[in-house]
Amino acid sequence: MLIFDKEAKRFEIRTRPKLIHSTTGTRDMQPVELSLRILYRPKEDKLKEILDNQGLDYDDRVIPSIGNEVLKSVVAQYYADQLLTQREKIYADIKEGMTQRAHEFNMELDDVSITSLQFSRDYAQSIEKKQVA
């Protein structure tokens, strides 16, 4: 609990999940929809800064914003087929980018995972046709 202006503010400091969705484009301009599950918590020694700068709903303000930013910048570096063949590298890049940005907002990320990755219908059909041939 943090006392601010003679009024108590209650922060949840346990790790909590947040699911974010983003639509972005690959290096070869293929649209892709991604979902991330993020496990996060505030830095306990920075609660006053978080309250002053972002407010009690800091997670609703910060996480979707940095998530979209990082997803767009990372995914744009790869071709669509690489999203499937280099999934571990892309995951590591996303996790590193999210962790760095979260630290700037006084948050710790315990885990970041890709829960969904979907290509456009046309691109998915073209991949299916190649596999059949």
**Per-residue pLDDT in tens (0 to 9) along the chain, 133 residues:** 555 555 777 888 999 999 999 999 999 999 999 999 999 999 999 998 998 999 889 999 999 999 999 999 999 999 998 998 998 999 999 999 999 999 999 999 999 999 999 988 877 777 677 667 6
Within a domain: residue 31? yes
Residue 21 belongs to what domain range?
Answer: 14-132
Parallel/antiparallel/unpaired status of strands 2-4 and 7-9: antiparallel
Choose among 101, 107, 115, 113: nearest CA to 15: 107
Choose among 92, 120, 105, 100: nearest CA to 42: 105
Within a domain: residue 64? yes
Could you tell me the CATH number of the domain that includes residue 107? 3.30.479.30
| Structural domain count, the chain | 1
Within a domain: residue 40? yes
